[in-house]
Chains A and B, each alone.
Chain A
Amino acid sequence: MSSVTVDPAAEAQAATTAKVEIRAVHKTFGPLHVLRGIDLDVRAGEVTVVLGPSGSGKSTLLRTINHLEKVDSGTVSVDGTLVGYRRSGNKLYELRERDILKQRTRIGFVFQNFHLFPHLTVLENIVEAPVSALKRPRKEAEAAARTLLERVGLADKAEAYPKQLSGGQQQRVAIARALALEPGLLLFDEPTSALDPELVGEVLDVIKDLAASGTTMIVVTHEIGFAREVADTVVFMDEGRIVEQGPPAEVLDSPRHERTRAFLSKVL
């Protein structure tokens, strides 16, 4: 592979933060209208927690942000750049896959079920994207990966295979894998929902650390305590719409909408 020199200053800027703007997004799966006109702004460096009952469209919304799910109408932009499309006049032209993949390298995504590559070691999992998508030298990427593993408390697991780790450890590796691209935006899709209750804490601790570091984050979760502690903004969704949003103290402690109150009374 050709050696691509990366301007460290530009790199640092990309690594810090990105804002997200979502405008009038609609999405249907067959007869199911999953997203019914979503507008959402996430300021750079902020942590947004999305709450809502299952089927409310939270995960679909998250997946539209890195174009894993194509929107039917509306726009998503990250740091002022449209995701998945190029605008010309009043038309949106879908980008070629290569360009979409490039956009995704600036957006980290953490899945509910980790989706680590089971046939690769922990280190190989983390190094894969920097080496093959960003063309980083392998040595450099491995050093960075080991630093990331230290950060998530798994420095001694570099040579292990995912199946040899607990669920909590696997999710921490998945977070390190997402961080290896130094994304300006991190998306978490119910990162603790597949974990044994006793393992939830260690993963939330890692996410809290990241929140403090100033990366923009959108977290879909059912952990109300986590939302209260970490979120700058809490968004409550139901039936494909955003019902209300605001600081955690407002939305969680004195919700304005009956639907929000009903949901919170059940999960708290």
Chain B
Amino acid sequence: MSATLVRTPSTARPAEPPPRIVPARRAGQWTAAALVLALLALGLVSVVRNKAFQWDVVAQYFTSASVLRGLGLTLWLTALVMALGFVLGTLLAVLRFSANPVLRAVSWGYVWFFRSTPILVQLLFWFNIGALYPQILGVSTVNLLGPVSVAVIGLTLHEAAYAAEVVRGGILSVDRGQLEAAQSLGLGRWRRLSRIVLPQAMRAIVPPAGNMLIGTLKGTSIVSVIAVQDLLYSTQLVYHRTYEVIPLLLVATLWYVAVTSVLSLGQHYVERHYARGTAGAR
């Protein structure tokens, strides 16, 4: 071996700047991006220039009174069904953890039954409940349960079955030691659930619940089959009269997209709230 391998520590060498890192060139990446953007632009141009979309009609009906009324119904129906569904669903999930085998079985049976049939079938069934029970508490069923009530009942019962599974998954995600710690501190059953288990379960509940909320918002459009005037049905009422099918479906589409976007944003903030106390948060 020669002395060339042994380098004496730099004594009098001028300070050399550290070497600069040059990223590898990715020509393919740029080409692919350009190609995709070009295709998107083409699509957009065709949408704008194709007269059949009738954007002027879309603009005319987008904020018309009847469409806004339909949107309002869709929004409050979604909120109500979601709220009631999760209250009932949480109850069902808690029953699944009961020490009482009958309550556990009932909870399981509920979820099994209401997940086993299409929501459309359930809705039509509730719509025709008057055939089974013509009178409830002395009042004619048809008068008691209008289409909107039927929509709320049908959607809520269906929603609760899914909510029960979401909440149950959340509860299962909480470490068993948390419950033991709460028990050893003498916390009562309700306190353990409301203060210790459910807040921690929320981290696992929120993402699928957000999914369900958006699914429910769009899913409420099914009530148009029982003539409830939601967002979709109110646009249908117009195009049955004017035959402007496409622009009115676009009106409904754009509203669904808008509301869903707002909800997705909201979910982000809710998730951040329930992530407090975990590593990386705050």
A interacts with B: yes
**Which A residues contact B (CB, under 8 angstroms)?**
66, 68, 97-98, 101-102, 104-105, 107, 109, 111, 113, 115-121, 128-129, 132-134, 161-163, 177-178, 181
The 7 closest A-B pairs by CB, nearest first: A115-B181, A105-B186, A129-B185, A133-B186, A161-B277, A109-B184, A115-B177
Q: Which of A111, A163, A177 contacts B278 (CB 8 A)?
A: A163
Expressed in whole angstroms, the minimum distance between the Cβ of B272 and any Cβ of chain A is: 13
At the interface with chain A, which of B87-95, B188-196, B262-270?
A: B188-196
A120 to B191, CA, bound (A): 14
Category for how many chain B residues contact A: 20 to 34
Question: Does B178 reach chain A (CB closer than 8 Å)?
Answer: yes
A106 to B142, CA, bound (A): 60
A129 to B175, CA, bound (A): 19
Query: Does the CB pair A104–B277 fall under 8 Å?
Result: no
Question: Does B187 reach chain A (CB closer than 8 Å)?
Answer: yes
A121 to B195, CA, bound (A): 13
Contacts A68-B183, A111-B180, A115-B177; A101 near B277 (Cβ below 8 A): no
Q: Which of A104, A117, A133 contacts B178 (CB 8 A)?
A: A117
Query: Does the CB pair B276–A161 fall under 8 Å?
Result: yes
Expressed in whole angstroms, the minimum distance between the Cβ of A51 and any Cβ of chain B is: 23
Question: Does B220 reach chain A (CB closer than 8 Å)?
Answer: no
Contacts A117-B196, A118-B200; A133 near B180 (Cβ below 8 A): no
Query: Does the CB pair B178–A129 fall under 8 Å?
Result: no
Q: CB within 8 Å of A: which of B226-251?
A: none
A68 to B183, CA, bound (A): 8
Q: Which of A97, A109, A111, A132 contacts B195 (CB 8 A)?
A: A132
Q: Which of B186, B191, B277 contacts A162 (CB 8 A)?
A: B277
Expressed in whole angstroms, the minimum distance between the Cβ of B196 and any Cβ of chain A is: 6
Determine the chain B residues whose CB is within 8 A of the CB of A109 once the complex forms: 181, 184
Contact with A along B255-282 (1 / 0, CB 8 A): 0000000000000000000101111001
Contacts A111-B177, A161-B276, A162-B277; A132 near B189 (Cβ below 8 A): no
Query: Does the CB pair A128–B185 fall under 8 Å?
Result: yes
A181 to B187, CA, bound (A): 12
Q: Which among A102, A107, A133, A162 has the greatest number of chain B C-beta atoms within 10 A?
A: A133
Q: Which among B184, B188, B191 has the greatest number of chain A C-beta atoms within 10 A?
A: B184
